[in-house]
Amino acid sequence: MSATLVHSGKVRQLYDVGDGMLLMVASDRVSAYDVVFAEPIPHKGRVLTAMTAFWSEQLADAAPGTVLTADPAEIVERVPEAASLAGRGWSSIAGRALLVRRAEMLGIECIVRGYLAGQAYEEYAAHGTVHGTPMPEGLQLAERLSEPMFTPSTKAKEGHDLNIGFDAAAQIVGRHAADEARRISLALYERAAARVAAAGLVLADTKFELGFVDGELCLCDEVVTPDSSRLWPADQVVPGRTPPAFDKQPLRDWAASSGWDKRPPAPPLPPEIVHATSERYVAAYERVTGRRLADWYGARP
């Protein structure tokens, strides 16, 4: 069975391996402001893969998933050519690869927000709305919303995704699919937020990818990772301030203060920023799951 590269993104490479399956391999590449940096972030690809596998198990009763296996031995047994794959930022698929069912992806990003942050806060500060929905006056940055909001966006082939309202999403994918996407996304967020809270963290917002497999809407791609979510320490969330996040925030902060114009090529990352960013990713996995990354596939002896 061959493995044909069908997509190479900023972080992942996707291979068609036949029989309705894809191989998704996460690298250690990191980007900020849509620009990829030359320096890899140690352990990042394994963290994203391990967290996705974890959440796919935890959320299986809330929505069907597409993950078949993360076991590198099983992957190679089913796709022998996978053993010889290599790419920038990784030299082995162990711990970085997921064998998944191929899906017909939904044409919108399914974002759920439980707190006011990021682009949602910027829109609220300017217009008093979130994805076009009028909001109460007086809300602050990092304030918890009265209830989680389904806030979709477009999937841009080039440039940035655009935040849209529910009606616009329904025009893109159809009313029934939009209703189902909202129902599933809110259920997934509720379950994930409760698990995260038990670990002393806040799931401020997260992005889900959904797609159809045999006519059923399924959870796809990465799930509740530091790349797709804002994870905050619960004891450091103060409305009006930006909480520290378990993601690439050290890198963003450095990039914003470095004088870089946010256009390619990216400047070299200082070793201390690489190290701090790696530590954030590993800490996110271990706090959320209660597992050691050293026990995940691909750990060096």
Asked whether residue 88 carries a pLDDT value surpassing 90, the answer given is no
Task: Classify residue 268: in a domain, yes or no.
Answer: yes
Q: How many CB atoms lie within 10 A of CB 196?
A: 22
Residues in the chain: 301
Per DSSP, 157 falls in state S
Do the beta carbons of residue 74 and residue 61 sit within 8 Å? no
Same domain, 258 and 282: yes
Q: Does 242 reside within a domain?
A: no
The DSSP annotation for 165-203 comes to -HHHHHHHH-HHHHHHHHHHHHHHHHHHHHHHHHTTEEE
Task: Please list, in sequence order, all residues whose beta carbon lies within 8 angstroms of the beta carbon of residue 183, skipping any fewer than 6 positions away.
Answer: none
Centre a 10 Å sphere on the Cβ of residue 47 and count the other Cβ atoms it contains. Answer: 28
Query: Which CATH number is 111's domain given?
Result: 3.30.470.20
Q: Is residue 241 part of a domain?
A: no
C-alpha dihedral sign at 288, 291, 293, 298: negative
For residue range 238-275, list pLDDT tens digits in order.
999 999 989 887 888 899 899 999 899 999 999 999 99
State residue 252's pLDDT score.
Answer: 84
What is the reported pLDDT for 81? 85
pLDDT for res 34: 82
Asked if residue 170 is part of any domain, the answer here is: yes
Q: Is the pLDDT of residue 157 over 80?
A: no
Q: Do residue 117 and residue 93 come from a single domain?
A: no
Instruction: Identify whether 17 is part of a domain.
Output: yes
Task: Judge if 165 and 224 occupy the same domain.
Answer: yes
Domain-located, residue 51 = yes
Domain that holds residue 39: 4-103+249-295
pLDDT in tens, 159-189: 567 899 999 999 999 999 999 999 999 999 9
The answer to whether residues 184 and 229 belong to one domain is: yes
Range of lowest pLDDT (38-47, 107-116, 152-161): 152-161
Residue 236 has what pLDDT?
Answer: 96
Residues 230 and 253 in one domain: no
Cis status of the peptide bond prior to 80, with omega within 30 of 0: no
In a domain, 87, yes or no: yes
More confident residue, 10 or 180: 180
* Mean pLDDT, all residues of the chain: 93
SS3 call for 85:
coil
Q: Are residues 85 and 25 in contact, defined by beta-carbon separation less than 8 angstroms?
A: yes
Boundary (domain end) residue, out of 192, 209, 236: 236
* Interatomic CA distance for residues 160 and 110, integer angstroms: 15
- Name the pairing type of β-strands 129-130 and 229-233: unpaired
Q: Are residues 110 and 203 in the same domain?
A: yes
pLDDT number for residue 159: 58
- State pLDDT tens for residues 192-240: 999 999 999 999 999 999 999 999 999 999 999 999 999 999 999 999 9
Is 179 found in the same domain as 112? yes
Residues near 268 by Cβ (< 8 Å), separated by ≥ 6? 38, 39
For the question of whether the overall pTM of this predicted structure is more than 0.95, the answer is no
Total domain count for the chain? 2
Q: What percent of the chain has pLDDT over 70?
A: 96
What is the C-alpha to C-alpha distance for residues 205 and 116, in angstroms, rounded to an integer?
9
Do 90 and 181 fall into the same domain?
Answer: no
pLDDT computed for residue 91 by the predictor:
62
